[in-house]
Amino acid sequence: MIPAKININFIQITTDFSGIITSVDAGEFAKKEFFVTTTIFDTCPFLEGTLEGLIIAESVLLEGMVIVSDNVEYNVDIELLKNENSVEVLILNRTNVYKIVDQLNQNRNDLFFVKREIAEKNKELDRLRKIADKANEEKSRFLAMMSHEIRNPLNAILGYAEMIAAETLNKNVEKYIKHLSYSGKNLKVIVDDILDLSRIEAGKLVLVNEEMSIENIYQNCEDTYKNQQKNTDVKLVFSVDKEIPKTILGDSVRLHQILSNLIGNAIKFTQQGSVTISATPVLTSNKEYVNILFTVTDTGRGMSKEQAVKIFEEYQQNKISDNRVHGGAGLGLAIVNRLVTAMNGKINLESELNKGTSFFIEIPFKKIEDKKLKNIAVSKTECSIKNKRILVADDDLLNQTIVAHYLKKQQANSTIVSDGLEALEKIESEVFDVILLDINMPNMTGEELVTKNKSFLKFNSTTPILALTANATKEDIKRYKKAGFLDVISKPFTSKKFVEKICSVLFS
């Protein structure tokens, strides 16, 4: 006796070789579809052709076939056994099992297609990213090149402006030259910003980790901005908390750049009241690091929430007239933001329209062990290059004149030549205290000349050589030093910077 539960899930049939049912032997499953003398192919079309392939006494299992009974589809497994005169067909209802298998199979295949789609989209994104990166690189290169091209004439503009300003002038010319210098300096800031931004974007910004003093940096800022600040309605207040270590490790040049940008902006947009610049240690500091919070607060025009959100984007200026009135390309804060990020710091701001703005910058700096502390000199010693023999090679007549003027003012003995070959001739026949070489010169470049060691042997074997160039990226400077230059005077330069640089190599 077969239990009813099993009985309804199978049926056993015998057919002849052509598929005609000769007997229904056992089971109740889909019984309505199978009658003696009818063909089994009506319900099991898959057996048509298959029966022909059976081998006598060899059992065959067909899994996952589909039959229809009473308009309902069933998944069945079928066992076939061919005898001498007949075929035994055992049909097992496995619909419940196959329902689960079906679902799993569908899920597996769906997952495969989703995965494939994601992979394709990733590929496309990767392709687009590469195109964008390349375009960005091109842009940065273009900007760097253009900035360099601008630096040379800018050096002449600023140099001549400085020379004219030193002459006795009538009031009008004095006013005009002041404007000329101011605009020239603004242009220099923009060019520097563009170079900085393209350098940061190209991943070429390298921060140095040297001993520095926050107090010194603040003192420098205070000296610079208090001298520049002519608006007596705005008070500048600088303060450095005494708890901040005297010396820490960091990039003083870049920190100065960050603060200068913020202080410059605060002064620009404040007509009345104060600009307060402070530095305080943060409690989250630990044994190894000190977190310092730099705050620049002004009582200026402030900004709306919408403006504040966009303020760190490139070329962002809150009013269309800002560029005309205050100069700049709107890159300053974008650079500040990127520099702070590069220093593992955070920048935030609070602002209210017509009330003022506060910028908060928190940067971690590595502490220095007491025993390793060096004294950082605060003041620079004055130096003189009077009577020093200085050779200058530059093919640009305007630059020649500026350099000659600066040297004459310092009562130095200058020899000015127009290209590398002329300079070589002088080097082989005279002793100099310092040699200044432009890089891009006709006949022989500064870089070619500096490698001619034998020519220097007789008269100038120990003479310091400085490069005078507008190519002033870190990579350029590194290359020049490797070639044999002791240092670089980057264009555009002021007379003060020019003399300081010569002094630094003469008296170091």
Which residues here bind other proteins, judged by CB under 8 A?
A: 45-46, 48-54, 60-66, 75, 98, 101-102, 105-106, 108-110, 112-113, 116
Cα separations in angstroms, 364 against 28, 147, 250, 258, 267: 82, 32, 9, 15, 27
Select 45 or 153, whichever has its Cβ closest to other proteins. Answer: 45
Cα separations in angstroms, 243 against 167, 215, 246, 292: 48, 11, 9, 10
Select 25 or 117, whichever has its Cβ closest to other proteins. Answer: 117
CB of 27 to other proteins, least distance (A): 20
Q: How far apart are CA 329 and CA 193, in angstroms?
A: 8
- Tokens standing for 101? 């298998």
Select 113 or 370, whichever has its Cβ closest to other proteins. Answer: 113
Please give the full DSSP string across 115-167, using - where no structure is assigned: HHHHHHHHHHHHHHHHHHHHHHHHHHHHHHHHHHHHHHHHHHHHHHHHHHHTS
Rg (CA), the chain: 42
Q: 451-489: b or e for each residue (b if 16 or more CB lie within 10 Å)? A: eeeebbeeebeebbbbbbbbbbbeebbeebeebbbbbbb
CB of 62 to other proteins, least distance (A): 5
CB of 74 to other proteins, least distance (A): 11
Centroid of chain to Cα 395: 37
CB of 76 to other proteins, least distance (A): 9
- Tokens standing for 361? 């910058």
Select 106 or 271, whichever has its Cβ closest to other proteins. Answer: 106
Residues 6+ apart with CB under 8 A from 472: 151, 488, 490, 491
Q: How far apart are CA 147 and CA 202, in angstroms?
A: 15
Select 75 or 270, whichever has its Cβ closest to other proteins. Answer: 75
AA identity, residue 350: E
Select 109 or 429, whichever has its Cβ closest to other proteins. Answer: 109
CB of 476 to other proteins, least distance (A): 46
Select 10 or 456, whichever has its Cβ closest to other proteins. Answer: 10
Select 105 or 272, whichever has its Cβ closest to other proteins. Answer: 105
Select 105 or 387, whichever has its Cβ closest to other proteins. Answer: 105
Q: Would strands 234-240 and 60-69 be described as parallel, antiparallel, or unpaired?
A: unpaired
CB of 54 to other proteins, least distance (A): 7
For tokens 């090149």, the residue is 145
AA identity, residue 457: L
Angle at alpha carbon of residue 74, lines to 69 and 77, rounded to 5°: 120
Residues 6+ apart with CB under 8 A from 93: 8, 9, 10, 29, 30, 74, 75, 76
Select 45 or 327, whichever has its Cβ closest to other proteins. Answer: 45
CB of 96 to other proteins, least distance (A): 13
Find out whether 417 and 392 touch, Cβ atoms under 8 Å.
yes
Q: How far apart are CA 327 and CA 312, in angstroms?
A: 17
Q: Does residue 409 sit in helix, strand or coil?
A: helix
Query: SS3 sequence, 9-23?
Result: CEEEEEECCCCEEEE
CB of 201 to other proteins, least distance (A): 36
CB of 66 to other proteins, least distance (A): 5
CB of 127 to other proteins, least distance (A): 16
Instruction: Provide the 10 A C-beta neighbour count for residue 506.
Output: 15
CB of 34 to other proteins, least distance (A): 17
Task: Find residue 423's DSSP bridge partners.
Answer: none
Select 52 or 475, whichever has its Cβ closest to other proteins. Answer: 52
CB of 57 to other proteins, least distance (A): 15
Select 48 or 192, whichever has its Cβ closest to other proteins. Answer: 48
